[in-house]
Amino acid sequence: MNPICSQVRVRVPATSANLGSGFDTVGLALDYHDELTFTLNPDPADGIAHVFIHGEGEDTLPRDETHLVVSTFRRACATFGLGRLGFTLEATNNIPQARGMGSSAEAIVAGIAAAAAFAQPGELNRPAIFDMAAQIEGHPDNVAPAVFGGLTVSWDFATAEGVGSVAIPGGEPLHGGFHTVNYPVDPAITAAVFVPDYELSTEKARQALPKEVPHKDAVYNVSRVGLLPAAMNPVVLAQAEAQGGADALGGNSAGAGAGQVTPAAFATAAAQANALLFTATQDRLHQPYRTPLMPPSAELIELFRAKGYAAAVSGAGPCVLVLHYGNAREAIDQVAATQLASGHWRVLHLPINTKGVEIERR
């Protein structure tokens, strides 16, 4: 198969995984991007990848076939039926490396999306990109929001040996492998990401985790993670309150405003959102065990949570994520004023990304 265009530009958002309680399952896309341009070499005989890197990782990332974007692109090209393509990759990296903002997921998604754009016309097949990216990454929590945007909850559905799927009455069969659900996020939800001047590898962070956890800690996290979709979208709470009012009036009551979200109901739900965010980001499964690997991050999280803010480790760390409903930028910066003044931390105030990976063909 021949490529359908000569150049593809890819834009992939940073992501934050776990959000406290949702270990290895929950992810959030942030409006902060790496941008990559793949330009096919004019000479078909030139099958080499020429790599140019600007920004984060420009002094440390490889510039050959071992670069994660390049190796993933090669693998995806083979899957999509493309031959070995020679190309120039120009990457403008904004996402910090080895900090818990999904830089490896970004690289994997970028490589697959670029291959798909060269191979197939029209819109990206996002489910196919997600499936391949999750298999390569080994876990879906970062790649899901990088592909779809917004808040995602993902899982790995295991089937019995020799059984590829399970029949679902009235619906499509549920196949084995990775799956994800995308939840809406209120535009008023913002993320403050505190980026330290030290790194922590995901592998080292995983090695700190125990093989077993107490049952009560598992229950603790389950009770918190179930709150996240509502906490991230207060209108759901307002609709539930309105529906409850309608039911109290007799279910299908034709009374004025029955079941509709009133301004008062939404204001109440919005006020409740930050309390829910605070609760939903509590964790006992992974952060306590990783604290010795990142004391400055753990101290900053405790500082924020003592003030009532929904703070958690971003991914495997060491970045710190603070989620809030409404504009609290100055107040959040004030809480971390000492850390920011030290020169060892910087902060990114970011909206939530709702688009996921984007491509442009030329």
pLDDT tens, residue by residue, 135-191: 999 999 999 999 999 999 999 998 887 888 999 999 889 999 999 999 999 999 999
pLDDT in tens, 63-72: 999 999 999 9
pLDDT in tens, 179-205: 999 999 999 999 999 999 999 998 999
- Are 148 and 172 within 8 A, CB to CB? no
**For residue 86, what are the contacts with CB-CB under 8 A and spacing of at least 6?**
40, 41, 43, 44, 45, 46, 47, 48, 49
**For residue 292, what are the contacts with CB-CB under 8 A and spacing of at least 6?**
208
Reported as half-sphere exposure (CB side, CA atoms, 13 A), residue 320 has a value of 29
CA–CA gap between residue 324 and residue 222 (Å, rounded)? 21
User: Is the C-alpha dihedral spanning 20, 25, 31, 36 positive or negative?
Assistant: positive
CA–CA gap between residue 99 and residue 102 (Å, rounded)? 8
Burial of 264 (0-12, 13-18, 19+ CB in 10 A): exposed
Reported as half-sphere exposure (CB side, CA atoms, 13 A), residue 92 has a value of 7
**For residue 334, what are the contacts with CB-CB under 8 A and spacing of at least 6?**
none
